[in-house]
Structure 1
């Protein structure tokens, strides 16, 4: 059984919206947003042609406490793997489509107004 959660944090919601818009411009199609189960939550689930892509979105105002990339620890990766396995089993996709895990990091761009988006494809494996 699964349920959807509402993103309460306005900064997190804005980062997810920016990541979604960025990825859609790259040709990815949204399947699901904020998919949650007991194993964890998937920020974005998208299709990149025939590949199912599970995307973790990370925003950092500064790197004082580590970068956005570093915040996706092995423990977080394991939770994302379990949530992705749940998603694939729920929708009976396990043997039908290849998948990958991407990370979108968003940082304030000190040289311009707005944010800098970094897309890390195939960031880690199942």
Structure 2
């Protein structure tokens, strides 16, 4: 499978993980001129979650979250601000997560969510 296909499957695995925890998927691959947000979800307590999904092979040297550098965080924060403003939800509580997704030999996925991985400053 190519990288794009693996990434899409990783995003789907992360969305399923959140949904099993009671979150509702609002949208995926939300594009703005500032960048893209992989998943936007609403937690049962009302918190909006903007999640960056990073899928890596299990033999990768870096953790998937290591790819979410300061520049990537700024783009996600700017895109989230655009989303909040355009949907009139600027007063909603928000959280920025990173989902680390690794395919396993069994065809299943290991999903690790880093809640509050970064925040808007």
Q: TM-score, normalised by structure 2?
A: 0.89
SS, match of residue 80 in structure 1: helix
Long gaps (5+) in structure 2: none
RMSD: 1.6
Provide the residue aligned with 2:20 in structure 1: 25
Aligned residue among 93, 100, 111 for 1:117: 111
Q: What does 1:88-107 correspond to in 2, within 5 Å?
A: 88-95=84-91, 97-107=92-102
Provide the residue aligned with 1:63 in structure 2: 60
Bigger helix fraction: 2
Q: Which has the higher contact order (CA 8 A, sep 6+)?
A: 2
Count of paired positions: 116
Long gaps (5+) in structure 1: 1-7
SS, match of residue 88 in structure 2: coil
CA positional deviation for 1:40: 0.6
Q: What does 1:40-79 correspond to in 2, within 5 Å?
A: 40-49=35-44, 50-61=46-57, 62-64=59-61, 66-79=62-75
